[in-house]
Amino acid sequence: MIDLQERFIERKSFIYRLFIVYFMFGGLLLAVLYQTFQLQIANYSEYEIAALENKTHEMNIQPIRGIIYDRHGTILVKNIPTFNLIAIPNKVDDPEFFIAKIKSFIDITEEEENIFYEKFKSKARYNRELVVKTDLDQQEIASFKVRKHNYPNLLVEKRYSRHSDFPNILSHVLGYIGSPSDDELSSILTEAIHPRQETIFSYANGFISGKSGIEKTFDNSLRGEFGEKVYEVDARGKLLQEISYTKPKEGNSIFTSLDLGSHIAANEALKGRMGAVVAVEIDTGAIVTLFSSPSYSINDLSNGISNNQFNALIQNPNKPFFNRALRGRYPPASTIKPALGIFGLQNKLIDWNFSIEDPGFFTLPEDGRIYRGWKKGGHGKVDLDKALIVSSNTYFFSLAYRSDIDDLADHLAQFGFGKKVCLDCFDEDEGLIPNPQWKRNKLNSGWSRGDTVNLGVGQGYMVATPIQLAYYSSILQ
């Protein structure tokens, strides 16, 4: 007999399971309908934009750097167009074989070849262009064009180079450009419209930044603003057509207070000997001349030299990279005497009638040490006026001996000694005004009255830079 109770239980269980299945499918259908609503209606605009972006490719366009002028409007640094042979290193498997093939139809010097090998790995790693040869002539361009189909990793493009008609005369004040460091590159790319996209370069060396001088100090202003090109691409990323173009904004040009003629005169006067010439405009303090010798070519550094050439400059015993106008530390010697005379007058240690007998030396009362003047036998009776005219060491030895060193150091600082005096200059040295605290910290020794006496004629521990002396002289005028 059929157990009716058992049949009823089975039927109830079946209905229960069927209800669960209907519920699951119903929930799944609702989820599909909800997602369809989100895709087709609620988020339509968002997905439409994303789809369009997937069909386009943006490229930054490198701006042209600003021009630098002297006070009369003469161009000191400009951009010159050239046609360059440019390689795509990350598409080159064998650089030696690659260069050998190119040399069969274009003359490449040993130096150009060495530069290519030196920069190849870093350029390939960061997917950057690498210039094989600059300033191609028409014959070289034609030779490449007939073989272009064999070199998908090589192109001839118009690029700019940073150039000065006076590369050795203005090297220290203008400075040079070069490849940016990682931090500098990050800063440059943050200013681009699409920081992570590729860049259409305007310069032969790709990304550039100021490394010294005005090029470094005003790098942000000279750099300009990136432009943009947007291309339509297919599913494989191939560029199809240009959709939009935003022109890059050229960097700001800088009109300096420099005078080219004075730099030419300074160069002719020094004739390559070590030294510096600094001239400032008395009324405004504007720098007219900032020349250091010996120098180097900013064109060579800005447009690429080999490591061997760069190391040769660094190891040159004459130190052409050293900017003696801003970083040369020299005892100010007798040039400090007018400042000391002003200190004596202001602190009533002397007046214009105060005089001493100058026997040609000064004797330190504490230990009898002798400090000699430059003239044997001295200058006889001297007051401040005569002491300045004949540059009497004895007079200023005596005046310094009577001075408080801390007050004297503060007084000299008001003339610009011991600190930077040029807001626009690159890597200026502060020089040094010594005092008891400095000597204890630096030399672990106490200050003596003899140290103060030496300071009276600009000797001892005190050092100043040529630009500090130039500004000091302008104050005295």
Tens-digit pLDDT profile for residues 71-116: 999 999 999 998 889 998 888 889 999 999 999 999 998 888 988 9
Q: Is the pLDDT of residue 337 over 70?
A: yes
Q: Is 287 exposed, middle or buried (0-12, 13-18, 19+ CB in 10 A)?
A: buried
Domain residues for the domain of 390 are 333-476
Q: Verify whether residue 209 is a known catalytic residue.
A: no
pLDDT for res 73: 96
Domain boundary among 223, 255, 287: 255
pLDDT reading at 372 higher than 90: yes
Contacts of 111 (CB under 8 A, 6+ apart): 306, 309
Specify if 64 maps to a domain.
Answer: yes
Q: Is pLDDT above 60 for 133?
A: yes
d(CA 324, CA 329): 8
Chain-centroid distance, C-alpha 57 = 32
Annotated catalytic residue within 334, 355, 391, 474: 334
Boundary of a domain, candidates 255, 277, 304: 255
Domain of 355, CATH number, reads 3.40.710.10
Q: What CA–CA distance (Å, rounded) separates 60 from 185? A: 14
From 255, 284, 310, give the residue that closes a domain: 255
Residue 296 lies in a domain: no
Q: pLDDT-based confidence at 45, cuts 50/70/90?
A: low
pLDDT at position 111: 86
Would you give the end-to-end CA distance of the chain in angstroms? 133
What is the model's pLDDT at position 135?
Answer: 82
Q: What is the CATH number of the domain that holds 200?
A: 3.90.1310.10
pLDDT band for position 33 (50/70/90)?
confident
Is the same domain home to 250 and 337? no
For residues 233 and 352, membership in a common domain is answered with: no
Q: Which of 9-13, 381-385, 466-470 has the lowest mean pLDDT?
A: 9-13
420 burial type by CB count under 10 A (0-12 exposed, 13-18 middle, 19+ buried): middle
Q: Indicate if 436 and 348 belong to the same structural domain.
A: yes
**39 assigned to some structural domain:** no
Total domains present in the chain: 2
What confidence category does residue 7 fall into, taking pLDDT thresholds of 50, 70 and 90? Answer: low
Q: Does 286 fall in a domain?
A: no
Indicate whether 249 and 337 sit together in one domain: no
Kindly tell me if the per-residue pLDDT of 53 is higher than 70.
no
Report if residue 47 sits inside a domain: no
Could you tell me if residue 322 is inside a domain?
no
Which amino acid would we find at residue 255? F
Tokens of 136: 């191609």
**Global pTM?**
0.77
Q: Tell me, letter by letter, the H, E, C secondary structure of the chain.
A: CCCHHHHHHHHHHHHHHHHHHHHHHHHHHHHHHHHHHHHHHHCHHHHHHHHHHHCEEEEEECCCCCCEECCCCCEEEEEEEEEEEEECHHHCCCHHHHHHHHCCCCCCCHHHHHHHHHHHHHHHHCCCCEEEECCCCHHHHHHHHCCHHHCCCEEEEEEEEEECCCCCCCHHHHCCEECCCHHHHHHHHHCCCCCCCCEECCECCCCCEECCHHHHHCHHHHHCECEEEEEEECCCCCEEEEEEEECCECCCCEECCCCHHHHHHHHHHHCCCCEEEEEECCCCCCEEEEEEECCCCHHHHHCCCCHHHHHHHHHCCCCCCCCHHHHCCECCHHHHHHHHHHHHHHCCCCCCCCEEEECCEEECCCCCCEEECCCCCCCEEEEHHHHHHHCCHHHHHHHHHCCCHHHHHHHHHCCCCCCCCCCCCCCCCCCECCCHHHHHHHHCCCCCHHHHHHHCCCCCCCEECHHHHHHHHHHHC
| Cα 184 off chain centre by | 9
Q: How far is CA 12 from CA 3, 22, 435, in A?
A: 14, 15, 104
The pLDDT score that the predictor gives to residue 189 is 86
Q: Which residues contact 35 (CB under 8 A, 6 or more apart)?
A: none
